[in-house]
Amino acid sequence: MQSDKSRTLFWDRLLGHLKGHAFQFDAVVPPAYPTRAGWKLLLVFAFLEFILGPRLTLFRQLGLPSPSDWFRIPLLMAVALFLKRLVVRLRLPQIGLSAWRDWRRSELSYFVQVLLIANLSPLADKFH
C-alpha cells in the first residue's frame, strides 16, 4: 500500500516536472484591471521602447556614453517597475508577475533549468 502511494507520488512529481519541458503549464485566470490601466501600460511601454529605448539611445543622442549591459538592463527594469507603480498604479500580480510561493511545480522546475542553462552555456563556449 505504501509503495503504491510512493510510486504515484513519484510519477506525479515527475509529470509536474516534465510538463515544463513541453510548455504545458496550468491555465491561470488572466489578471483583471481597468481599460484605463491598460492604456497607461501601453504608454509606459511606448516611453520605454521608443523614447528611452532598449539600448538607451537617448544617452547617445545627448552625447553621453552608453552604460554597459550589467547596469542598463537592471536600470530599465527598475524604471519599468517604478513607472508601473507610479503611473499605472497596478500591483505585480495584476500584470502577471506572481510571487514565487504561488508558482506551480512545472513553472519552478522550468525556471530553475533555464537559469542554470543560461548561466552555464557561456562556460561551455569557453571550453570549445
- In whole angstroms, what separates CA 119 from the centre of its chain? 16
Which residue in this structure is represented by grid cell 543622442?
A: 61
Report the mean per-residue pLDDT for the chain.
81
Q: How many C-beta neighbours within 10 Å does residue 25 have?
A: 13
User: Contact 47/79 with Cβ under 8 angstroms?
Assistant: no
Q: How many C-beta neighbours within 10 Å does residue 119 have?
A: 9
The pLDDT assigned to 86 comes to 93
Q: Between 15 and 72, whose confidence is greater?
A: 72
Average pLDDT over residues 51-56: 77
